[in-house]
């Protein structure tokens, strides 16, 4: 295939991906009640176990006339991308695979699948643990009883998306470590040597993600992150590449 043939094939791949994302986004837009019932579930007082403490149901507000409609469209688009992600990865892999060597193809399929699985696990971890804890703490935090918290719908969704993406990328650490190990950039001895430094960095990141004041909540977030680091050590080769 010539250069222009490759561009034409890429255009077809992107067009098919856009169509699939659009179809799922339209479905998400139509099934508004079901989609937003999932989105708003983490703010419920009964969403987390009672070991995390009690919290009143925090009501969301909207201050702009068109904001709810715009956020509805944006949320439908996000849902469309997440649902269509397996198909998008399949199309991109099918486009790239002819240019790969045989040994590269052997690793590429497990790599793509595992990357998607780990990213989705990070999103689920954020949805069920990180975001509810963060929202419960920040939604009830007051510098003074004279200041009442009025949480906007836009702020709620923006925080949910940000934390979901952040934890999704955090869960990619083992995959990234494996790639760097295969390239000879990262070695197991290095990660073992800097294990204590990594632990401090993990605690700092966990404290930023969940700015609560108790050690239990901090441990809930930092322990899985540290386990991911230990998993990365096992995946990284001891010596040089190959």
Residue 240 has pLDDT above 50, yes or no: no
Q: Report the sign of the C-alpha dihedral through residues 178, 182, 183, 188, in that order.
A: positive
Give the pLDDT of residue 241: 43
What value does the mean pLDDT take over residues 130-136? 86
Helix (H) or strand (E) holding 184: none
User: What are residue 192's phi and psi, to 5 degrees?
Assistant: -70, -35
Angle of CA points 9, 11, 17, to nearest 5°:
105
101: Cβ contacts below 8 Å, ≥ 6 apart: none
Which range among 23-37, 122-136, 149-163 has the greatest average pLDDT? 23-37
Kindly report, residue by residue over 137-184, the tens digit of the pLDDT: 888 788 888 888 889 999 999 989 988 988 899 899 999 888 888 878
Residues 232, 177: contact at Cβ < 8 Å? yes
Helices 102-125, 173-182: axis angle to 10 degrees equals 160
Q: What gap in Å lies between CA 170 and CA 174, rounded to an integer? A: 9
């Amino acid at each position: 295939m010539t250069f222009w043939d490759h561009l034409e094939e890429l255009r077809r791949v992107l067009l098919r991906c856009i169509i699939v994302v659009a179809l799922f986004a339209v479905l998400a837009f139509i099934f508004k009640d079901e989609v937003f019932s999932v989105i708003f579930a983490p703010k419920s007082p009964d969403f987390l176990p009672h070991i995390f403490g009690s919290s009143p149901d925090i009501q969301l507000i909207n201050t702009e006339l068109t904001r709810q409609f715009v956020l509805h469209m944006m949320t439908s688009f996000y849902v469309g991308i997440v649902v269509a992600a397996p198909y998008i990865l399949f199309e991109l892999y099918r486009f790239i695979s002819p240019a790969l060597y045989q040994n590269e193809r052997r690793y590429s399929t497990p790599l793509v699948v595992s990357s998607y699985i780990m990213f989705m696990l990070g999103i689920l971890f954020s949805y069920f643990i990180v975001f509810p804890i963060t929202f419960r703490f920040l939604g009830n935090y007051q510098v003074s009883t004279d200041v009442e918290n009025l949480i906007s719908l836009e702020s709620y969704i923006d925080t949910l998306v940000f934390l979901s993406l952040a934890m999704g990328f955090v869960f990619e650490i083992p995959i990234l470590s494996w790639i760097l190990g295969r390239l000879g950039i990262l070695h197991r001895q290095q990660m073992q040597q800097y294990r204590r430094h990594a632990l401090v960095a993990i605690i700092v990141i966990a404290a930023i993600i969940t700015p609560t004041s108790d050690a239990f909540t901090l441990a809930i977030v930092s322990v899985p992150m540290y386990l991911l680091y230990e998993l990365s050590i096992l995946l990284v080769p001891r010596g040089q590449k190959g």
